[in-house]
Structure 1
């Protein structure tokens, strides 16, 4: 390997280590000393000190306190603002839904909360002759929907009961859904990362919902498929994979990192 190649490799390793340091601090959510960072990420202290000093000079890290602790710097905030100005959730979802609808040939939706109700914010119909549509913007009771189980998953049990109007637990066919059963479904949906069921609104359809997370781990939207019941059950695995991959991509562009959720769970145990 020549000197130029060696230099490029070292710079690449340095960049990888710098991003590892930044991500570590992001996950820890607190200032730390360079030697603590080096121990945590398994890196030589000398290289971590060098990178920390470089990032401090660039404003990417800042000293906090008088004991040499560092944390994320204000330049990262300005970079984040610039990114946010160019990232539009609705625009990006529109592209994803078109891809999902084309790949699955089913109706793809992006759904959100509107107050204490559920609504379809965007929709793309698949190219199949038989199409299933919803009214964009129509408000629907949260317990009636697959997405509802995910959109309230960040709330406590008591918060969910307080948030959803009591009458919304009455299903379209007239029977009442026990809030405890709904909450159990919410927790299971959050655990596995999706929710599917035969629609309680349209009896011939099967619904799929996968969460889109923002940086703090809260589900801000869902990517969904609404399919004929038989097709949905037959193609369940492939449909879920398509939705999960698309939602993970969108979540990452919102700043969400799955390992951060794992850290939060570990801290709560």
Structure 2
């Protein structure tokens, strides 16, 4: 007999989304309840919450429910990440070999970055940038490298006020103006840098990877500890070369 889920509501929500994903069209709530063995009241409550977040839409004329735009965005994100991860893996591995430090590739999603590739160098400190991890974009080198390439209107929409900013180590920009200053410098020098803003004692440098339209589709970075004697200029050059290589690989 399978173990009971530790978070029943999350389990039920995912089962509903999976059922809708398998179905050929919209499904009635009563049919979902029957198919999944769930109380109708629970299904209606979960659907209402998912509707608020855009994962499902209600079709009142048909009395049925279908997948919403947020679910489509998840699928689109997966379709974008998979090819980039395949193409970026060898690039990150070569960068780790060249620098002797751990490397990663991330994508921008809202105000976060999500790490899609990580190559850990031997005998180097463990990082928080595992594949699938999300971190605030304004604190990370990869996030800043990509944010420097978005338009002013989108940046204002992402970071409208000071409440949009979080910290991990009490370092980093705390307001839209401070972030604009950081990104202005990134655009000027062509790469992004962070020092202890994600993890104290660690620093990173990143360069954006642009697609054929000029959009920052990803960023490549290398991270090293304060006590490692590294030539910063050499690290920057290595990351720039790797970003250029990945850009060529994605065409």
Q: 1:1-269 to 2 correspondence within 5 Å?
A: 88-164=83-159, 166=161, 167-174=163-170, 177-231=174-228, 234-255=230-251
SS in 2 for 1:209: strand
Whole-angstrom distance in 2 between the partners of 1:120 and 1:165: 25
The number of equivalent residue pairs is 168
TM-score (norm 2): 0.60
Gaps of 5+ in 1: 1-86, 256-269
SS in 2 for 1:239: helix
- Structure number with the bigger relative contact order (C-alpha 8 A, sep ≥ 6) is 2
Maintained 8 Å contact 2:191/2:207: yes
Once the two structures are TM-superposed, the CA of residue 208 in structure 1 deviates from its matched residue by 0.9
Once the two structures are TM-superposed, the CA of residue 140 in structure 1 deviates from its matched residue by 1.6
Greater share of helix: 1
Once the two structures are TM-superposed, the CA of residue 158 in structure 1 deviates from its matched residue by 3.5
Once the two structures are TM-superposed, the CA of residue 91 in structure 1 deviates from its matched residue by 1.4
Determine which structure has more spread, i.e. the larger CA radius of gyration: 1
Give runs of ≥4 in structure 1 deviating > 6 Å.
Answer: none
Maintained 8 Å contact 1:146/1:209: yes
Maintained 8 Å contact 1:150/1:189: yes
Once the two structures are overlaid, the 10-residue window that deviates more, 109-118 or 216-225, is: 109-118
Maintained 8 Å contact 1:143/1:168: no
SS in 2 for 1:230: coil
Gaps of 5+ in 2: 1-81
Maintained 8 Å contact 1:125/1:133: no
Shift of the 215–151 alpha-carbon distance from structure 1 to 2, 3 Å rule, reads same
TM-score (norm 1): 0.57
